[in-house]
Chain A
Amino acid sequence: MQSMTRDDFIWMAGGPQGSGVDSSANIFARACCYGGLHVYGQREYHSNIKGLHSYFHIRVSPEEIGSIASRVDLLCTFDADSVVRHIWEVSQGGGIICDTEVLGKRIMEIPTLSASFREEFQKTLDEKGIKPETVGDLINEVKKNGIKIYPVPYLELLQGLGKEIGEEKLSKLTIMTNTMALGISFGLIKYDKKFVNKAIEKIFEKKAKLISTNIVAFSRAYDYAMKNFGDSGFSLNPVETDEKRIYLQGTQAVALGKIAGGCRFQSYYPITPAGDESEYLEENQVFELEKEGISQAGGSIIVIQTEDEIAAVNMASGAALTGARAATSTSGPGFSLMAEGLGWAGINEVPTVISYYQRGGPSTGLPTRHGQDDLRFALHASHGEFPRIILCSGDLDECFYDAASAFNYAERYQTPVIHLTDKALANSSRSCRIFDRSRVKIERGQLLKEDDVRKKEYKRFQITESGISPRLPLGTPGAIFWNTGDEHNELGHVTENPMMRTVMMEKRMKKLELADKEIPAQERVNFFGDNDAAVTIVSWGSPKGAILEAMDRLRQQGHKINFLQIRMMHPLPTDYVAEVLAKAKKKIAVEGNYSAQMAGIIRERTGMDMDYFVLKWNGRPMTSDEVYDALLLIMQDKAPKRQVLMYGT
């Protein structure tokens, strides 16, 4: 399984939720970024506040990376649970950092390991023919396979630290365990302390008092590792770079895209993993506008937490009616509640934008875990027929630019736009090239002003050749209009007239054809790899990073292959997709759901069937290694039609 072709290194922090796994990971990642390295991180957590296992997978490389991999090089644990849970993931030559105190813990008595986990674990032990009782026994077993163990007497180290900084209360010191673990980690990989110090300064910038003690704690642990542990076999070296980079997570990329794209109203009801986006927006709700080339005050976004998602989507539509760019943000259960409101926006031709972060469903499903199983739902939610546009971002860069362009499509075609992302994007944090606002275009479509309607009868739903009826913001002086969720005439009054129904429906639906005609293919798909390959991967959303890496590896080995990433699922650039697929002898769908929903949509539109399916629905994002393995089998003609990926803890 371990196909390590890149010069990459994977560090993982694991511990009980609420124990500081996130902040350790944040410091780790930033420290790597400061050294010019690229970072891709993925946060995994239970639907729980304190106590259950969570972990952060951080992959570091001098090159840009877009996915996690199927291994861990250095596992940094904060409890016994984390050692047991991730032990088989540690790569050969890799290492495990743990508290000396966990060594004596009896595996089957670790309370946070579920019965089903224990059963599976026992099976693995039986297969391996080993019988460890304690965590220490288990560690001794893997040691035999060349995995290195770094037991750390945290208690002693904390007491030593206490003496140095004049703090005797142990309870005040234990929060420093994370920082010490970082010290051990970075000591083992011999990374320059100055980058870590800089990261600590950044993370604690609002709690300046903590900076110096954390730096001392870090440094002591670093030195301890240098002195007491031999060579770990890894070393992480900084690289020079001129590139301007940011480190952020998916929800921030979407939020920034919205602000840059002119969104001025966001309503939401809290839900994982969408909630972070709205919170970030609210934190940054006042911003500057550039007028005559000068930045000045004047920009702001209203962020309102509603009573439910029904209110959220409808408030956004209410705001959008006034001409403000408005959005809401949610996940599957919330979108289920938005279905009726989506239809209202559709029939009233309101440019409401919905940021939809998928997670594993149905129902509450896997509330904190990944899934791509809502594509069909996004496409079909709400009764009746109306146009909608569905954008699917594949990485954080696309999250940003798509979040902005969603409003352009919404306003140009006066119809709701669903920006579909997922938990893997929401909670992946990575370094990427700084976003370029000058690439953000604002296209408002046919938007009327006061002067355009003065002394004329304004017909909000005027029948036009293109299907677009010029839009007037509600509240514009000198005119009025009506809206209704009922079928309506040009003025917006209720009608049940069969002729009017026929014509009005056609007017609305035509907008989808117009969008299909006007929006160029390069805005709707990405194409990577060899033009003349006989093998084509088709995918959408977050698997992009894993696919690109797997494909690179295959191409380096001489395989010819290409990858069609669908970025606009609706309207699908059907001709383009059909043209690409017609050239392929092997067509492979890669997606994070059970029923290959994208493949079904492509079949419906193009009449073309996929030859292979690589699917995953265990709640965890795809790793580049497992995608590589699956693709390789296909290249070698050894693959079954349907491969199910299972990696993940």
Chain B
Amino acid sequence: MALKMADYRTPLFNDWCPGCGNFGILTAVQMVLVDMQLEPSKVAIFSGIGCHAKMPHWVKAYGIHTMHGRPLPFAIGAKLANPDIEVLAFGGDGDGLGIGAGHFVNTGRRNIDMTYLIHDNGVYGLTKGQASPTLKLGLQTKALPKPNINEGINPIALALASGYTFIARGYAFDVAHLKEMIKRAITHRGLALVVVQQPCPTYNNINTKDWYGGEDRIDPATGKPVPRVYKLEDTGYDGVVRKPEEAFPKTVAALTKAQEWGDRIPMGLFYQNELVSTYQERLSQRIADYLQNPPAKQVISDAQGRSLTSIDRMLDELKVT
């Protein structure tokens, strides 16, 4: 029997603020699971701490709500120990680019076959609206006593520099497009990042739904707003590396695109390179049967509880009498 949206919902009350962009992300994720017909028990959702991090509780799948900034290490541990699990990690912008920035960068080096999604709302939602690492210099969102004194991080550029092999941006209120991005991220062979522009109506009164949608910019000709977000695909941009020699120019192109912000904000796939070896492949070079016999599947004892592991080779090496 085909799995439906309802099969991925939990009966819990969702306590995000009305109008929160997180609802769009949640719906997109559940739609992807339906689209891909992924068994709930095949999927594990990891999150950090923050408003975003409540995500796993609303999804019917293995759900691991970890620590502030730490969804990636937990997700990596689980994925490496049992590579059959479809692993999705969710982080906040504070979570992934502030306290967890070290994991953000170093995860990029590993190219583990999993998906990481960052809820970029420009603020620390759950601690009541302080500036997040993506908030631009000089902006003063609602809860800030003074304008932001730091420049904002560019997550797309940082991901490029760190070695992510799939980098996309979505918008929380364009669920159909976001769903496509997440689906492509999951099917990507390697580590995929989706940065989601997520309006926080409660604390970010600058990068609002209206602002992204360009409600303040009415085209006099059509009388319609001119949205700030646009789709890279619509402009003929193609970030997919198909031959090794394309990797560098496409990185440069993606980096250039990543600079756009303000009047025009690109959505879609910035960069994808499936030619890079995955961590699983690298591990298989060292441990030939890694994929068939990963840590979680190894039998370590017999029925009597005796250890099955032979350490004779190592002991032989150390033997002196």
Interface readout for B272-312 with A: 1 if CB under 8 Å, 0 if not? 00000000000100111110011110111100011111111
B70-A314 in contact (CB<8A): yes
* CA distance in complex: A444, B10 (Å): 31
* CA distance in complex: A109, B77 (Å): 53
A483-B63 in contact (CB<8A): yes
Given contacts A265-B80, A297-B289, A477-B42, contact A246 B320 (CB under 8 A): yes
B side interface size, CB within 8 A: 67
A288-B310 in contact (CB<8A): yes
- Which residue of A302, A319, A437 contacts B310 across the interface (Cβ within 8 Å)? A437
A601 interface residue per 8 A CB criterion: no
B310-A241 in contact (CB<8A): no
Contacting residues, chain A, for B221 (C-beta < 8 A): none
* CA distance in complex: A427, B75 (Å): 34
B65-A484 in contact (CB<8A): yes
- Which residue of B10, B82, B299, B313 contacts A475 across the interface (Cβ within 8 Å)? B82
Given contacts A318-B81, A324-B82, contact A431 B57 (CB under 8 A): no
Task: Write the chain A residue with the least CB distance to B47.
Answer: A484
Interface readout for B133-165 with A: 1 if CB under 8 Å, 0 if not? 000000000000000000000000000000000
A322 interface residue per 8 A CB criterion: yes
* CA distance in complex: A493, B53 (Å): 12
B206 interface residue per 8 A CB criterion: no
Chain B nearest CB: distance from A37 CB in Å? 10
B306-A438 in contact (CB<8A): yes
- Which residue of A265, A295, A494 contacts B77 across the interface (Cβ within 8 Å)? A265
- Which residue of A264, A308, A435, A442 contacts B305 across the interface (Cβ within 8 Å)? A442
Q: How large is the interface on A (under 10, 10 to 19, 20 to 34, 35 or more residues)?
A: 35 or more
- Which residue of B12, B41, B77, B84 contacts A317 across the interface (Cβ within 8 Å)? B77
A404 interface residue per 8 A CB criterion: yes
CB under 8 Å from chain B, chain A span 16-32: 30
- Which residue of B64, B293, B305 contacts A443 across the interface (Cβ within 8 Å)? B305
* CA distance in complex: A437, B301 (Å): 12
Contacting residues, chain A, for B16 (C-beta < 8 A): none
A262-B63 in contact (CB<8A): no
Interface readout for B197-212 with A: 1 if CB under 8 Å, 0 if not? 0000000000000000
A173 interface residue per 8 A CB criterion: no
Task: Write the chain B residue with the least CB distance to A307.
Answer: B106
A260-B298 in contact (CB<8A): no
Interface readout for A237-277 with B: 1 if CB under 8 Å, 0 if not? 00001011111100010001001111011010000000000
CB under 8 Å from chain B, chain A span 264-317: 264-265, 267, 284-291, 295, 297-302, 304, 306-308, 310-312, 314-317
Contacting residues, chain B, for A299 (C-beta < 8 A): 298, 308-310
* CA distance in complex: A31, B79 (Å): 46
Contacting residues, chain A, for B300 (C-beta < 8 A): 262, 264, 325, 442
B67-A314 in contact (CB<8A): yes
CB under 8 Å from chain A, chain B span 9-39: 10, 12, 39
CB under 8 Å from chain B, chain A span 435-482: 435, 437-438, 440-444, 473-482
Given contacts A244-B319, A311-B102, contact A326 B314 (CB under 8 A): no
Given contacts A443-B305, A475-B62, A482-B63, contact A318 B77 (CB under 8 A): yes
* CA distance in complex: A300, B84 (Å): 17
Chain A nearest CB: distance from B71 CB in Å? 9
B49 interface residue per 8 A CB criterion: yes
CB under 8 Å from chain A, chain B span 220-263: none
Contacting residues, chain A, for B105 (C-beta < 8 A): 307
Which of B72, B78, B306, B309 has the most chain A CB within a 10 Å cutoff? Answer: B309
- Which residue of B40, B293, B306, B318 contacts A247 across the interface (Cβ within 8 Å)? B318
B39-A290 in contact (CB<8A): no
Contacting residues, chain A, for B308 (C-beta < 8 A): 289-291, 299
B321-A243 in contact (CB<8A): yes
B188 interface residue per 8 A CB criterion: no
B295-A302 in contact (CB<8A): yes
Interface readout for A118-132 with B: 1 if CB under 8 Å, 0 if not? 000000000000000
A-B contacts, CB under 8 A, total: 257
A287-B57 in contact (CB<8A): no
Contacting residues, chain B, for A319 (C-beta < 8 A): 77-78, 80-81, 295-296
* CA distance in complex: A318, B288 (Å): 23
* CA distance in complex: A245, B321 (Å): 5
* CA distance in complex: A276, B306 (Å): 28
A486 interface residue per 8 A CB criterion: yes
A321 interface residue per 8 A CB criterion: yes
A322-B67 in contact (CB<8A): no
A256-B73 in contact (CB<8A): no
B310-A486 in contact (CB<8A): no
Chain B nearest CB: distance from A252 CB in Å? 7
- Which residue of A314, A435, A481 contacts B66 across the interface (Cβ within 8 Å)? A314
Chain A nearest CB: distance from B48 CB in Å? 10
* CA distance in complex: A321, B63 (Å): 11
A431-B295 in contact (CB<8A): no
A612 interface residue per 8 A CB criterion: no
A344 interface residue per 8 A CB criterion: yes
B40-A485 in contact (CB<8A): no
Task: Write the chain A residue with the least CB distance to B49.
Answer: A485
B67-A285 in contact (CB<8A): no
B44-A474 in contact (CB<8A): yes
B41-A475 in contact (CB<8A): yes
Chain A nearest CB: distance from B319 CB in Å? 6
* CA distance in complex: A444, B301 (Å): 9
A170 interface residue per 8 A CB criterion: no
Task: Write the chain A residue with the least CB distance to B79.
Answer: A318
Contacting residues, chain B, for A295 (C-beta < 8 A): 310, 312
B77-A326 in contact (CB<8A): yes
A482-B56 in contact (CB<8A): yes
B318-A287 in contact (CB<8A): no
B2 interface residue per 8 A CB criterion: no
Given contacts A315-B77, A482-B63, contact A306 B106 (CB under 8 A): yes
Given contacts A314-B66, A319-B81, A431-B320, contact A494 B306 (CB under 8 A): no
B103 interface residue per 8 A CB criterion: yes
A302-B66 in contact (CB<8A): no
B51 interface residue per 8 A CB criterion: no
B76 interface residue per 8 A CB criterion: yes
Contacting residues, chain A, for B106 (C-beta < 8 A): 306-307, 311
B314-A247 in contact (CB<8A): no
CB under 8 Å from chain A, chain B span 71-122: 72-82, 84-85, 102-103, 105-106
A434 interface residue per 8 A CB criterion: yes
Task: Write the chain B residue with the least CB distance to A298.
Answer: B293
B73-A315 in contact (CB<8A): yes
B315 interface residue per 8 A CB criterion: yes
A323 interface residue per 8 A CB criterion: yes
Chain A nearest CB: distance from B281 CB in Å? 14
Contacting residues, chain B, for A301 (C-beta < 8 A): 295
Contacting residues, chain B, for A286 (C-beta < 8 A): 286-288
Which of B63, B84, B288 has the most chain A CB within a 10 Å cutoff? Answer: B63
B54 interface residue per 8 A CB criterion: yes
Contacting residues, chain B, for A315 (C-beta < 8 A): 73-74, 76-77, 80
* CA distance in complex: A248, B317 (Å): 10
Given contacts A441-B307, A477-B39, contact A308 B102 (CB under 8 A): yes
Apart from A244-B319, A314-B77, list 14 A-B contacts with CB within 8 A.
A265-B295, A284-B313, A285-B287, A289-B308, A300-B287, A304-B76, A304-B80, A311-B76, A318-B77, A321-B74, A341-B67, A341-B70, A474-B44, A480-B63
15 interchain pairs, CB-CB under 8 A? A245-B320, A247-B320, A252-B318, A259-B311, A264-B298, A304-B76, A306-B106, A314-B70, A324-B298, A340-B67, A404-B307, A475-B44, A475-B82, A482-B57, A483-B66
In the A-B complex, the 8 residue pairs with the smallest Cβ-Cβ separation, listed nearest first, are: A318-B77, A262-B300, A442-B301, A324-B295, A264-B295, A33-B320, A315-B77, A484-B65
